[in-house]
Amino acid sequence: MWVMARDAAMESVFEPVRPPTTFEETVERLGTAIRLGLLAPGSRLPSERSLAGQLRISRSTLRLALTTLIQSGHLVSSRGRTGGTFVAEQPPLAERDAGVLGEEARAVLDYRVAIEIGAATLAAERADAEQLDRLDLLARKMAGASEFEYYRRVDVRFHIGMAEAAHSPRLVRAMTEVQGQMSDLITLIAHPEQVLIHSNEQHRQLVALLRCHDSAGAMQLMREHISGTEHILAGLI
């Protein structure tokens, strides 16, 4: 069995993860280590208790991150005396040009930051009650979604609706464009139910901030919302 070397690079993989995006940063940390070969194909991760202790995160958060990486094909899990969580022998995207893909993804994510935060700021200033009620309804629909495809369609409509609440036709067009580009990236990653629940909770919090005309709070929450996707994509592609 492959034994992981504990050099400086490896130590950085297992440094404590900082809130508020502990789950997403854990996915990024482990996914990046797999992509760079710091966690070699076939190598076994430390036990759940040990790894959670090293990262200083809860075991439930760690399980969520590991589930995401298992669903994406980066890790495999087996039971029994010789079981555990192992790096996949052939992690996904290994044959793709990760450098080019990363550059394209970063360009889309940067564009999204500008559009989403701008829309949140203006929506906090300009949104009317009917538009905010519509956003609340969309959040409720996402809460009841049983399939990711449906969730994502409503999610796209929520973000475009926020741009509509900013009363800027040009911003609506830009939001529609960036959501289309994000959909191409989102298809590359797994979507555990707990992640969608957390994301939609942020949607509900955002609408509450818009109702209070809290531009600063809406901007901060939207940045956290976007950062979650950024961390996961950084780890998986």
| Domain assignment of residue 78, given as a range | 8-87
Return mean pLDDT, the chain.
87
Residue 92: inside a domain:
no
Residue 136: inside a domain:
yes
Let me know: does 48 contact 101? Beta carbons within 8 Å: no
> Last residue of some domain: 50, 67, 87?
87
**Ramachandran region of residue 84, left (φ > 0), alpha (ψ -120 to 50) or beta?**
left
Let me know: does 76 contact 45? Beta carbons within 8 Å: no
184 vs 162 pLDDT, higher one: 162
Q: Do 196 and 145 belong together in one domain?
A: yes
Name the token pair of 44.
């076994």
pTM of the model: 0.77
Chain segment 56-75, per-residue pLDDT in tens: 899 998 998 998 899 888 99
Rounded Cα distance between 115 and 113, Å, is 6
- Asked which of 12-26, 39-53, 137-151 is least confident by mean pLDDT, the reply is 12-26
The residue-averaged pLDDT of 112-116 equals: 97
Q: Do 44 and 105 belong together in one domain?
A: no
Q: Which of 13, 220, 7 is nearest to 117 (CA)?
A: 220
Name the token pair of 72.
């994406």
Chain segment 206-236, per-residue pLDDT in tens: 999 999 999 999 999 999 999 988 888 877 7
Rounded Cα distance between 135 and 117, Å, is 16
Q: CATH number of the domain at 182, please.
A: 1.20.120.530
Q: Do 215 and 122 belong together in one domain?
A: yes
Domain count, the chain: 2
Q: Do 47 and 103 belong together in one domain?
A: no
